[in-house]
Structure 1
Amino acid sequence: MKSAKKLSKRDGQILQFIEQYRDLGYLPEALFNFITLLGWSPEGEDEIYSPEEFIKIFDEKRLSKSPAFFDKQKLAWVNNQYMKQKDTNTVFELALPHLIKAELLPENPSESELAWGRKLVALYQKEMSYAGEIVPLSELFFRDEQVLGADEQEVIDGEQVPELMSHLYSKLEALEPFEAAEIKQTIKAVQKETGIKGKQLFMPIRVAVTGQMHGPELPNTIEVLGKDKVLSRLKKYV
């Protein structure tokens, strides 16, 4: 394991209790999987097993006599494998308390706010190492001002950007319903009208609306950001 650090109750950098991992949104079955592998190794390269599978393949001869090492990155990876397999509603229920605690959703969200939150979680489910990670991952949806880094600024300063943003802005302003499928078709229409394609098309749009060069599917991201916020961010570059 990468950390090469023996388990110690005095190590303040490692959470000491199962409840702490539960509160962050780690899944019980992922923790069981990870802890089992601390002192025992299966044959082969597979590392994700259900408790029933562990029972079936367990061999005491493969118990380790060496001290266990706690690899936080490995735990995050194991939990992520389980998060990917869960249905979005389950992951959303795990993430919801964290969104509320961070005041990104109200304490008693409405049905429309809950529906929006599910879409937000669906965007990041494959990336989430634990449910609480939705808060830093989704930061771009809640900021008031975009602060671009040097690389992002270089993208947005491209020669074709004003023409691209002008076409996109006018089309999105008139678009109803403001949903991912329609947004995807709108971007294709802008490509056809302007002749701008590939990275020169998608990268400036992503930077303009998110402030980032990488992220979840662009049409879905634009839908979840919402029409008002997207138009407000695009307008600066028209």
Structure 2
Amino acid sequence: MEKKVRVRFAPSPTGPQHIGGIRTALYNYLFAKQQKGTFILRIEDTDQTRYVPGSEEYLKKALHWCGIQPDEGVDEGGPHAPYRQSERKDMYKQYAQQLIDAGHAYYSFDTEEELNEMREKLKEARVAQPQYNSITRMSMKNSLTLSEQEVKAKIDAGEPYVIRLKVPRKDEVRLNDMVRGWIMVQSSTLDDKVLMKSDGMPTYHLANVVDDHLMEITHVIRGEEWLPSAPLHVLLYQFFGWEASMPQFAHLPLLLKPDGNGKLSKRDSLKHGFPVFPMEWVDEENNKLPGFREEGYLPEAFINFLAFLGWNPGTEQELFTKEELVKTFSIANINKAGARFDIHKAKWYNQQYLRLKSDEELADMLLPVLERAGVKSSREKAVQVSGLMKERVTFPAEIWENAKFFYEAPQRYDEKIVNKKWTEEAAIVLQAFANALKEQKVTLTADEVKAVLEEVLNALDVKMGKVMQALRLAVTGEGSGPDLMPTIEVLGRDETASRIQYALQKLGDQIKT
């Protein structure tokens, strides 16, 4: 019987979650849902020196905003609780002891000074990568070089120690990665990683392997930065006798800077002003790091954009709902090469999803913005404005920024349009049109507005193209914008006539003959 798919996202609470981490969570989530499996959120907080307050809450809020809901985890609970490693601390000791008893790990009593001295000697000997390994460990202070009595005496005396993995000297470690294929590493290139620190806390290497085994994880989908550690984890599975149930590994490609030169980082956000975090974060230096949410990105657009940073469906389709992503996602279609971050593509996605929103949904976004700006608006008008503007904006906030003329009569006018299109002929037509609007006794639709204008133009024997930009200028102050007739419908006949009259007065001495 095939095992039910169980995957986990296991971040450390060391600051805001970079979008690379959110992408890892997304891929795990999509794979789990597609396979009708379980998606687990586990917090790996064994390194308390790097703990940053607020990080865990930030992460959970970010996942919630993205619509990535764990099935088990720190808040959801589950059969393998607790899901926070610091709360599982005492459990790891028995597994470290199991490795020591089997001869796969050992106590190490070396001081920091002794470790530095060892590294300096190796550097002087021109060793490329100074390591605590199968060769150097035999000249260090550990349970492999000390007698059993000496080791016991040191432990009884409370002398600080760590527990290290005893890496074989000449083994070949093999790993069939789902993204990269077979990876073979000579154990002589690996160092004896610390498994338990002197404070009694396990390192990532021990804790993640033990937890993945106990939580019955079937697939480990994580970032490329963990690829060098994978052979060590394979060895741990072998040493524990868990190789038969070892999860399959998939190491995801790096997210690269826009120019492809190096890994995308927080500094890129500060330097170029685009977000690399799902939500805003204020760092220890009081830098406000922008977030996709605060910049106005829709969560569904963000998720679609993120999915394509390293994965491709193999078709021309680019817009996917979350449900479609679940149906289509495949680890086989994840790229090996790093994925370039393109903020322009992110904006394109947001445009597409904004246009798919109903006018009513956009009005719900616009009304709070208007309220903060001290502008009163009926819901009906907000719906109309949203419908006219959504094809012309990238972010919801831009509806207000680019549509202020719907709520505020223009006081200034585009000089280029004034100089080119504000003619005596246009002024005559505009005055006649304003008068015709004042004579109307009912609310006019866009088609009715156009009919009134055409009647005026026919009477004066003037073509529509001669006056349209001047009319737009008088009504909005700009030379371009949404369809003019529907715009006038929203403004109403009286407001439109008033604006035309004001423009004629203010720009009267600038009329070109």
Does the alignment pair 1:8 with 2:265?
Answer: yes
Residue-by-residue CA offset, 1:6-33 (whole Å, 9 max, x unaligned): 5312322122432443344432211110
Structure 2 vs 1, CA of residues 182 and 144 (structure 1 numbering), >3 Å: closer, same or farther? closer
Counterpart selection for 1:196 from 425, 445, 462: 462
| SS of the residue 1:46 aligns to | coil
Quote the Cα distance in structure 1 between the aligned partners of 2:454 and 2:410: 28
1:134-149 matched pairs, under 5 angstroms: 134-149=399-414
Structure 2 vs 1, CA of residues 97 and 225 (structure 1 numbering), >3 Å: closer, same or farther? same
Structure 1 stretch displaced more, 199-208 or 12-21: 12-21
- Per the TM alignment, residue 177 of structure 1 is displaced from its structure 2 partner at its CA by 1.3
Quote the Cα distance in structure 1 between the aligned partners of 2:374 and 2:342: 31
More helix by share: 1
Residue-by-residue CA offset, 1:88-125 (whole Å, 9 max, x unaligned): 111211222222222233xxx6xxx2211111111102
- Per the TM alignment, residue 43 of structure 1 is displaced from its structure 2 partner at its CA by 2.0
Q: Residue 208 of structure 1 corresponds to which residue in structure 2?
A: 474
Does the alignment pair 1:237 with 2:504?
Answer: yes
Structure 1 stretch displaced more, 113-122 or 39-48: 39-48
Q: Residue 119 of structure 2 corresponds to which residue in structure 1?
A: none
Q: Residue 88 of structure 2 corresponds to which residue in structure 1?
A: none
Quote the Cα distance in structure 2 between the aligned partners of 1:178 and 1:3: 50
Equivalent AA in structure 2 for residue 134 of structure 1: I
1:57-72 matched pairs, under 5 angstroms: 57-72=328-343
Quote the Cα distance in structure 2 between the aligned partners of 1:146 and 1:7: 44
- Per the TM alignment, residue 42 of structure 1 is displaced from its structure 2 partner at its CA by 2.6
Q: Residue 37 of structure 1 corresponds to which residue in structure 2?
A: 308
- Per the TM alignment, residue 197 of structure 1 is displaced from its structure 2 partner at its CA by 1.8
Structure 1 stretch displaced more, 202-211 or 45-54: 45-54
- Per the TM alignment, residue 142 of structure 1 is displaced from its structure 2 partner at its CA by 3.9
Q: Residue 17 of structure 1 corresponds to which residue in structure 2?
A: 277
Counterpart selection for 1:183 from 437, 442, 449: 449
Equivalent AA in structure 1 for residue 449 of structure 2: I
- Check the 8 A contact 1:7/1:68 in 2, yes or no: no
Does the alignment pair 1:127 with 2:392?
Answer: yes
TM-score, normalised on structure 1?
0.85
- Per the TM alignment, residue 174 of structure 1 is displaced from its structure 2 partner at its CA by 1.6
Residue-by-residue CA offset, 1:121-159 (whole Å, 9 max, x unaligned): 111022232212212111223445432333211244323
Equivalent AA in structure 2 for residue 182 of structure 1: E
- Per the TM alignment, residue 36 of structure 1 is displaced from its structure 2 partner at its CA by 0.4
Structure 2 vs 1, CA of residues 7 and 97 (structure 1 numbering), >3 Å: closer, same or farther? farther
Quote the Cα distance in structure 2 between the aligned partners of 1:229 and 1:61: 60
- Paired residues, number: 232
Structure 2 vs 1, CA of residues 178 and 2 (structure 1 numbering), >3 Å: closer, same or farther? farther
Q: Residue 221 of structure 1 corresponds to which residue in structure 2?
A: 487
Equivalent AA in structure 2 for residue 73 of structure 1: H
TM-score, normalised on structure 2?
0.42
1:51-90 matched pairs, under 5 angstroms: 51-90=322-361
Unaligned runs of 5+ in 2: 1-255, 280-290, 506-513
Equivalent AA in structure 2 for residue 237 of structure 1: L
- Check the 8 A contact 1:25/1:95 in 2, yes or no: no
- Check the 8 A contact 1:155/1:204 in 2, yes or no: no
- Check the 8 A contact 2:410/2:477 in 1, yes or no: no
Equivalent AA in structure 1 for residue 309 of structure 2: L
- Per the TM alignment, residue 48 of structure 1 is displaced from its structure 2 partner at its CA by 0.7
- Check the 8 A contact 1:152/1:213 in 2, yes or no: yes
Equivalent AA in structure 1 for residue 473 of structure 2: V
- Per the TM alignment, residue 228 of structure 1 is displaced from its structure 2 partner at its CA by 4.0
Equivalent AA in structure 1 for residue 322 of structure 2: P
Structure 1 stretch displaced more, 150-159 or 30-39: 150-159
Structure 2 vs 1, CA of residues 140 and 4 (structure 1 numbering), >3 Å: closer, same or farther? farther
- Check the 8 A contact 1:25/1:94 in 2, yes or no: no
Residue-by-residue CA offset, 1:33-53 (whole Å, 9 max, x unaligned): 011011212323321112232
| SS of the residue 1:148 aligns to | coil
Residue-by-residue CA offset, 1:147-204 (whole Å, 9 max, x unaligned): 2333211244323112211210111112221432321211121222122224213222
Structure 2 vs 1, CA of residues 9 and 66 (structure 1 numbering), >3 Å: closer, same or farther? farther
Q: Residue 169 of structure 1 corresponds to which residue in structure 2?
A: 434
Does the alignment pair 1:47 with 2:318?
Answer: yes
Residue-by-residue CA offset, 1:50-83 (whole Å, 9 max, x unaligned): 2232233333343233333332221121111112
Quote the Cα distance in structure 2 between the aligned partners of 1:145 and 1:127: 20
Quote the Cα distance in structure 1 between the aligned partners of 2:257 and 2:424: 45
- Per the TM alignment, residue 215 of structure 1 is displaced from its structure 2 partner at its CA by 1.2
Structure 1 stretch displaced more, 88-97 or 51-60: 51-60
Structure 1 stretch displaced more, 12-21 or 35-44: 12-21
Structure 2 vs 1, CA of residues 88 and 8 (structure 1 numbering), >3 Å: closer, same or farther? same
Does the alignment pair 1:116 with 2:386?
Answer: no
Q: Residue 422 of structure 2 corresponds to which residue in structure 1?
A: 157
CA-atom RMSD, angstroms?
2.5
- Check the 8 A contact 1:152/1:211 in 2, yes or no: no
Quote the Cα distance in structure 2 between the aligned partners of 1:43 and 1:181: 46
| SS of the residue 1:177 aligns to | coil
